Amino acid sequence: MEIPDVITKFVSAASAADQDCAAECVTEDAVFELPGGRTLPAGRDGARAFAAQHAESEGRKPTVELQGAEPRGGGHWLASLHFVSHEVATGETLYEMNVGGIFKLEGGLIATHRAFPSAAEAEQALAEQ
């Protein structure tokens, strides 16, 4: 099954720190959960805050690339992503890791985005729902 465009668009917007584009991809009451039990504001403000985390800061720029996503029922998609932190001046990779995410879609938009340190942890969390 093909990955919904809204997920691809959201990940690309977040990686580019394009707050307005990220906000277009979510419902007005979207939920954003980060590792460690942290949350972001709901809705479009949360999407903007999530994208802002990928802006250049202190000479570093994080990027994230969608590696794949699989439908898991109930509007849920299990995503695998590649996260990289770059030194802006040199382009040097500071660190990189594979991470996971769960997206829940409603009405063609993202209603929930949960981020995990690994795809395995995302898969486990989805199985426990």
Q: How confident is the model at residue 1 (pLDDT cuts 50, 70, 90)?
A: confident
pTM for the model stands at: 0.95
Residue 79: closest CA among 42, 37, 35, 126: 126
Domain interval for residue 80: 5-127
CATH number at residue 119: 3.10.450.50
The 3 state secondary structure assigned to 54-107 is CCCECCEEEEEEEEEEEEEECCEEEEEEEEEEEECCCCCEEEEEEEEEEEEEEC
- pLDDT of 4: 97
What is the domain count for the chain?
1
pLDDT digits (tens, 9 = 90+) for 31-41: 999 998 999 99
Share of the chain above pLDDT 70, in %: 100
